[in-house]
């Protein structure tokens, strides 16, 4: 990876690199600029650019000669919250951000629930909810026919009621629906407030999407993370 970055810097070329290697070599790459993926993991809106690392212990049933017990001990150690915290801080003092990010299930279980949906912008009270918080609110079922002509029933929370909790400002006119990959769809605030069948629906694999009958197909947003009033 280091050779690829040096070559791209020399030739003025594009390349795909992992963030850690780029950060560790940045002083040798004056001609390169990050075009996609953001300047930090928090700014990366494209999940397809994430670069996870995994551990694959050798199966002792197929290879009896391996030290399976020690391999299992290593796996448990590196996935432990204590080790993951070390990984999460590595390089931060030198590069302003970690070279790697903790991601094990064991580590995540120690964290407080993450904010899954928020309302910002021209509001009196900014709102932020975990996925459990949203699912705990009053729900309703809505039928919606997608672009392929398939009709399905979705369960979710009325968008108008979520917006009411944020107390929209008097001069707020539009709502931006922001997806986790950075996609944004916009709709009239008045139209959304008047829509009784517009919901933030629960996705089967977690997260949310908008279901808004009688609105344009490109206003239906998957993996919704924010509603911004403007």
Residue 59 in any domain: the answer is: no
Q: pLDDT tens digits, residue range 9-59?
A: 999 999 999 999 999 999 999 999 999 888 888 788 787 888 889 999 999
The answer to whether residue 44 sits within a structural domain is no
Domain presence at residue 19: no
* Domain-embedded: residue 14: no
Residue 169 lies in a domain: yes
Residue burial 31-67, b: 16+ Cβ < 10 Å; e: rest: ebeeeebeeeeeebbeeeeeeeeeeeeeeeeeeeeee
% of the chain beyond a pLDDT of 70:
100
In a domain, 98, yes or no: no
The DSSP code sequence of 44-76 is ---GGG----------TTT-TTS-HHHHHHHHH
Q: Can you give the residue range of the structural domain that contains 184?
A: 117-229
Tens digit of each residue's pLDDT (9 = 90 or more) over 134-180: 999 999 999 998 878 889 999 999 999 999 999 999 999 999 999 98
Structural domain includes residue 7? no
CATH code at position 124: 3.90.420.10
Our count of domains for the chain comes to 1
Token pair 């993991």 in the structure block, residue = 41
Considering the domain boundaries, does residue 129 fall inside one?
Answer: yes
């Amino acid at each position: 990876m280091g050779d690829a970055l040096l070559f791209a810097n020399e030739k003025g070329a594009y390349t795909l690199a992992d963030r850690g290697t780029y950060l560790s070599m940045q002083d040798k790459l004056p001609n390169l600029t990050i075009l996609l993926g953001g300047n930090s993991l928090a700014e990366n809106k494209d999940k397809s650019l994430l670069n996870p690392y995994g551990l694959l212990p050798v199966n002792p049933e197929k290879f009896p000669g391996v030290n399976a017990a020690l391999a299992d001990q290593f796996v448990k150690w590196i996935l432990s919250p204590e080790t993951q915290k070390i990984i999460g801080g590595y390089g931060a003092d030198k590069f302003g951000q970690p070279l790697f990010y903790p991601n094990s299930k064991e580590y995540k279980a120690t964290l407080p629930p993450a904010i899954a949906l928020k309302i910002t912008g021209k509001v009196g009270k900014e709102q932020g909810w975990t996925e459990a918080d949203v699912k705990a609110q009053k729900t309703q079922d809505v039928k919606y026919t997608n672009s392929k002509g398939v009709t399905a029933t979705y369960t979710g929370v009325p968008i108008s009621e979520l917006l009411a909790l944020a107390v929209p400002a008097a001069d707020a006119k539009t709502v931006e629906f922001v997806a986790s990959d950075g996609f944004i769809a916009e709709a009239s605030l008045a139209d959304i407030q008047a829509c009784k069948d517009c919901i933030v629906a629960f996705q089967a694999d977690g997260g949310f999407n908008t279901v808004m009958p009688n609105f344009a197909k490109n206003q239906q947003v998957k993996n919704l993370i924010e509603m911004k009033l403007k």
